[in-house]
Amino acid sequence: MPLWQIYHPPGVFEDADSKAALAADITKIYTSVGLPAFYVVVHFNTMQPTNVYVGGESKASASKPFIRIVIKHIAIRLDNDTETYRKTAGMIDAALKPHVYDKDMMCEYHVEETERRLWKFDGMIPPEHMSEAHMVWVKENKPVEYEGAYWSPEKGHY
């Protein structure tokens, strides 16, 4: 699951259309590499500039809006090579361009890759990327039970 946490000042991403447009462009990044759209979660978090400090200085009097984005990847891990990281950052930058960069906002982001084995949907272990069960999840755009989906005693399976 990609989880995007977007921290922004009031007046930025305040209307449903701007949020939906950015969320759609973010989702395209992941569906283009075979992930189901429902994996992509975007949280918009309004932060008062008086509560944001960069380098020990308040953003309250900044001339441009400051956007901070935390991206967490769980579904698949990137290959550990510079070209893969550059390509991924390029896809992120392309998604942000019309919504942030072209609007002359300051923006910082980072991507974390977290442990997949502690990730579940409705108690199910997500299927391996591009497996037969994964392709069902992509087609249905929702979690679908499959053999091996549970190992939790709460669900009665191991």
Does residue 156 register a pLDDT over 60? no
Q: What is the pLDDT of residue 158?
A: 47
3-state secondary structure of 145: coil
d(CA 69, CA 98): 16
Q: For residue 150, what are the contacts with CB-CB under 8 A and spacing of at least 6?
A: 123, 124, 125, 156, 157, 158
Q: What is the pLDDT of residue 155?
A: 61
Does residue 102 register a pLDDT over 50? yes
Domains by residue range for the chain, with CATH:
3-119 (3.30.429.10), 120-158 (no CATH)
Q: What is the pLDDT of residue 151?
A: 80
Question: Contact at 8 Å (CB) between 22 and 69?
Answer: no
Q: To the nearest whole percent, how much of the chain has pLDDT over 70?
A: 96
Name the pTM for this structure: 0.92
